[in-house]
Amino acid sequence: MPPFSNLLDLKPLSGFDWSCFNGNIATAVSYFGDDYLQAFAHSWTFSQFGTDPFSYDLLGHESYTYEDILKYANTDYTLHREISLPDALNTIYQELEAGRPVLVKCDSFACPWFPDNYHALHNTHFFIIVNYDPQTDMFACTDVSYMTHNYTQSVADFSQGFMNEIMTFSPRTSTLDLEDTDIDLVLLNIAKTNLGLQPQTYSIFEAMRVFADQFEQWYQLAVMEMNQFNPGAANKLHLELLYIVQSRMQFLKFVEYRADLEQANMQCIRAAFTQSIKSWSVIRMMYLKLYEPKANKEHIFNTLPEKIKAVAAMEEDIAYTILHMEQMRLLNDQLSPRHRHTFSTL
């Protein structure tokens, strides 16, 4: 078999670190285009935290699923369940030769880019194979969970850890009939929804403030859950903060792909979302420090809730800015020369 000449330049999508399945699927289909971003068009959101007794099931819930991502991506896909290793290898070789990435399910025990648990800890894991070199018998892999790009894995390691499941992708033969996205209307509707101005909606910004006030209690619940399994396991509160960062990063990408960035107002919104992402990332890293043995937990508990409230205020300002933009647009339409002429002839 000759060496494949078409190594896929498939870098992991930013913001999806630790998002094993959805993040790798989004990364794989991003190779075919940016249509997958439609799945994140309404993901500027936050779980509902009210003053009612705690309902821990609210935590760690994504507002989108891999089905949503695949629905909008301009690709067809096939999930090969219970596929044998020889059939899987043949399919992988065929797909790579055709220039298409393959998502695989494998034991992290066999992933050499896991420095802490390579050949030490067994966990189900997903990643993407992007090339094969028959001279070295090595795969090149992209893994969004660890933000690795073209990391090599021997076929022997892959075979040892393979868990009988792969997903293949191809350009869609019949495109999904989607309405043209009016980015201004999308922003307006989401801003109204997040402010609680639509029927049966709540203020996500008030939910953020409640979340901040009760943060230490949520942390204690997270600790209890971790102790029930193993100290190294991801917990729901960690996932909640991760999904917030992910959704805002992909929502910002969606806005940047669809909006006219020459508009001054849109530049302000873009800058504000960029700052929001940075702030949520800092909050998430502060949270992770709580699990370090020498962490100054008192300082974190005194600081982190105020940071959450500050981000809530900033994002609330973004929502009101979007509403004000719409009000100014309507006012400008009313004061346009054509409208003034019509008004003067009445």
Residue 75, pLDDT score: 87
**Which of the residues in the chain have pLDDT under 50?**
1-3, 229-232, 340, 342-346
- pTM, whole model, 2 decimals? 0.82
Q: What is the CATH number of domain 20-32+75-171?
A: 3.90.70.30
Instruction: Return the SS3 of 135.
Output: coil
Bridge partner list, 107: 124
Residue 29, pLDDT score: 93
Q: Exposed, middle or buried by CB within 10 Å (0-12, 13-18, 19+), for 23? A: buried
In whole angstroms, give the CA distance from residue 210 to residue 207: 5
Extract the tokens encoding 119.
């050949």
Residue 58, pLDDT score: 61
In whole angstroms, give the CA distance from residue 226 to residue 290: 13
List the chain domain ranges: 20-32+75-171, 183-339
Residue 343, pLDDT score: 40
Closest CA to 270 of 214, 194, 187, 342: 187
Bridge partner list, 143: 148
**The 102-107 sheet, strands edge to edge:** 75-81, 162-171, 102-107, 124-133, 138-143, 148-154
CA angle at 285 for the pair 143 and 241, rounded to the nearest 5° = 75
Residue 142, pLDDT score: 94
Residue 19, pLDDT score: 77
Residue 54, pLDDT score: 57
Residue 345, pLDDT score: 47
